Amino acid sequence: MNGILNILKPTGMTSHDVVSSVRKILDMKKVGHAGTLDPNVAGVMVICVGKGTKLSDYLMNGDKEYVCELVLGQSTDTQDSYGAVVCKNDKFNLSIEEIINVLKEFEGEQLQVPPMYSAVKLNGKKLYEYARQNIEVIKPGKLVNIKEIKLIKFEKTNVLMKIKCSKGTYMRTLCNDIGEKLGTYGHMGVLIRVEAKGLHIDNSVTLAELKYLCDNNRLDECLMSIDEVYPLEKVIVDDKYFDKLIVGNEVEYEQAVNSEEFYICCKDQLIGIGKKTAHSIKIEKLLM
Catalytic residue among 27, 38, 57, 77: 38
Pairwise CA distance, residues 286 & 51, whole Å: 9
Taking a C-beta distance cutoff of 8 angstroms, is the pair 288, 272 a contact? Answer: yes
Helices (DSSP H) in 71-201: which residue ranges? 96-105, 127-132, 171-181
Question: Are 42 and 28 contacting, i.e. CB atoms less than 8 angstroms apart?
Answer: no
Catalytic, 239? Answer no
Tally of CB atoms within 10 A around 288? 12
Do the strands 233-236 and 262-266 form a parallel or antiparallel pair, or are they unpaired?
parallel
Which string of b and e fits 163-187 if b means at least 16 CB within 10 Å? bbbbebbbbbbbbbbbbeebebbbb
Q: Using CA atoms, how far apart are residues 51 and 33, in angstroms rounded to an integer?
A: 12
Q: Find the Cα–Cα–Cα–Cα dihedral 239, 242, 243, 245, rounded to 10°.
A: 150
Name 231's Cβ contacts closer than 8 Å, sequence gap at least 6.
Answer: none
The CB-side HSE value for 219 (13 A sphere, CA atoms) comes to 17
Annotated catalytic sites, by residue?
38
